[in-house]
Amino acid sequence: MKCLRTPDPRFESLPGWNYPPHYTEVPDGEGGTLRIHHVDEGPRDGEIVLCMHGQPSWSYLYRHMIEALTSRGLRVIAPDLAGYGRSDKPSRRGDYSFQHQVDWMTAWLVQNDFRGINFVGQDWGGLIGLRLVAENPDRIARIIVANTGLPVPDASMSDERIARVRAFRDNEPTPAMAEMFQAIAAGDPKTPEMAFAHWQKWCWETEDLPVGLFVGGMVDGRKLTPEEVAAYDAPFPDPSFKMGCRAMPSQVPTLRGDPSTAANEAAWKVLEGWNKPFLCAFADNDPVTAGGEKAFIGRVPGAVGRTHPKISGGGHFLQEGRGDELAKIVADFLAES
């Protein structure tokens, strides 16, 4: 598997980011290896908080939370998914299957032998991370999910709805960024797959995704500085480095028969028997995952009987908009449970 590696100078002098890198080599599934990066901060004997980011961000997203959590004696591990941050970036869009990401991060987890993990996942960090949780339950102590999910297609979706999505993705012009945002914000609850299809198509077909601009546009509560926007762009020197950003939305199983549907259903069976502490901490204004916490609260035994905080504002990337609040929620949950 051909991979690209972002030059180290791209990560120098980023605002709020001076953490030394840690690297792990994992099998790429084709006879080679991938280098996965992670941040490791806080006391070595502190409880581990594993913070997993999503698309198209990287571990930089957790910088506000790292200091807040380590100051309370916790050890924060924040990896970069393959294709993001300081991790290697496979060069083909087709390399970024859901299963590949799960396999790569599982290999990373096992090689580092992290245990007693308190998992925090947002966006794709939840999709991939909850698969890791389900396959390595003995390594996990608690779960906190924020603006994420573990999607499986609606089994009752009609053939007509499925055909409509496929026709849109295959034949319609690439939506402009403003059109994509409008479709997501407007979203029809009767056909939510169409709003998400705009996101899938925009990412897949936009050669040079404006990563920093997009992240900044999905934050509520603070405006990113130009330097912070540039930090989100830092892992991607040119469009060839952005294949993961472009590919991953199309790997979300939204239609009957999509890859990873069976694997996600198997992970849900594990979660439906999960009695360890489980907490949802969703923003109240995320158009992407609005109401997503209900699936967990209603199905995961470890979530029953808990007060699940609804964070006011923050947007989709609530680690930016409400990072201090989310860090406090995580730390208090660990202390109380």
Given 88, 123, 220, 258, which residue is catalytic?
Answer: 123
CA distance 79 to 155: 34
User: Which pair of tokens denotes residue 273?
Assistant: 């028997």
* 80 annotated active-site: no
Given 28, 95, 220, 286, which residue is catalytic?
Answer: 286
* 286 annotated active-site: yes
Predicted model pTM = 0.96
Q: 260-286 burial, b for 16+ CB within 10 Å, e for fewer?
A: bbebbeebbeebeebeebbbbbbbebb
Strand partners, 78: 39
**Cβ-contact 157, 256 below 8 angstroms:** yes
The helix (H) or strand (E) run that includes residue 178 is helix 177-186
CA distance 47 to 67: 15
* 332 annotated active-site: no
Q: What is the CATH number of domain 3-154+253-336?
A: 3.40.50.1820
User: Where are the domains positioned within the chain?
Assistant: 3-154+253-336
Residue type present at position 145: V
pLDDT tens, per residue, the chain with 337 residues: 999 999 999 999 999 999 999 999 999 999 999 999 999 999 999 999 999 999 999 999 999 999 999 999 999 999 999 999 999 999 999 999 999 999 999 999 999 999 999 999 999 999 999 999 999 999 999 999 999 999 999 999 999 999 999 999 999 999 999 999 899 888 777 788 999 999 999 999 999 999 999 999 999 989 999 999 999 999 999 999 999 999 999 999 999 999 999 999 999 999 999 999 999 999 999 989 999 999 999 899 999 999 999 999 999 999 999 999 999 999 999 999 9
